Structure 1
């Protein structure tokens, strides 16, 4: 009887997260607010540990990824107000932070904007990631950045 064993190395968890090159501009990413927020980011979001980001790393960015190859969770700080965030837009409050869910062309991913801070913060995550990532990031946002009144765009038309 011959017994063979093989080890398959899965590099998905150690390879850097590659971000799309066509990402929205983040003009306030170098701001003190974003610097403070990034310093407050936890090493883990539930079962998503911090992941390296492929060079060049955009300012104001942090990522987490599980070892099973699941899509990463990506935080970006300092973006412009999302165009669809208008007066009357639906918001969800999570641990003291008001979040707006932006339209996302990828049905497997959701993108949330924290809209009640001096800078806009996005969190893009797999739809099946559960509530923990949004909750943990909301706690870090609350600790690092004071709340301010929301500033939605006027409704077009």
Structure 2
């Protein structure tokens, strides 16, 4: 009986030791979970269609025509990505082949989170409402003739917001913030 118990203990210890060397978990010595490498994305980015009644507006056509081919991100560039057809109108995406892309949508409905007391952030004279999400934040331009959303995944720098703010400021005239 003691031999059987001893063999079970050795087997359990062997599995624990082997799991540290073969595959193991993705926890480093600081207790932080390491980012696992995802399979590279191949092909165009598929975007879900959302209600965007102003997507066909002159403002959205002007903005999408002025969007850059790349967005700065912590010293790197996020290249404009092709969109899967049928792509929703007035949309664009930038990123790399591994992480979730930065996505712009123009012509959306007024965000429900926009109220008279909503805290707004100003970047390059453009007023933004930030709506945090689980793994990304969506920033809404709220002071132009159309609502524009920029969804920025976590761990993305401020470069995309700054570049899109500059593009919005140079292409679309300011308008009063409408909270109703």
TM-score when scaled to structure 2?
A: 0.73
For residues 84 and 64 of structure 1, what CA distance do their matches in structure 2 show? Answer: 25
Deviations 1:28-79 (A, max 9, x none): 0000100000011000011210001111111110111113x11001100000
Structure exhibiting the larger radius of gyration computed from Cα positions: 2
TM-score when scaled to structure 1?
A: 0.83
Deviations 1:71-102 (A, max 9, x none): 00110000010011111101000111100012
Q: Determine if the alignment matches structure 1 residue 56 to structure 2 residue 118.
A: no
**Structure 1 consecutive aligned stretches of length 4 or more whose deviation exceeds 3 Å:** none
For residues 155 and 128 of structure 2, what CA distance do their matches in structure 1 show? Answer: 18
Q: Determine if the alignment matches structure 1 residue 70 to structure 2 residue 99.
A: yes
| Displacement after TM superposition at 1:24 (Å) | 2.9
Give secondary structure in 1 for the equivalent of 2:163. helix
Deviations 1:99-154 (A, max 9, x none): 001243xx21110000000000000011211100000000000011011110113x
Of Structure 1 and Structure 2, the greater helix share is in 2
Match of 1:4 in 2: none
Gapped runs of 5+ residues in structure 1? 1-9
Greater relative CO (CA pairs within 8 A, separation 6+): 1
Match of 1:44 in 2: 70
CA contact (8 A) 2:46 2:87 kept: no
Gapped runs of 5+ residues in structure 2? 1-38
For residues 144 and 72 of structure 1, what CA distance do their matches in structure 2 show? Answer: 23
Q: Determine if the alignment matches structure 1 residue 143 to structure 2 residue 170.
A: yes
For residues 83 and 152 of structure 2, what CA distance do their matches in structure 1 show? Answer: 15
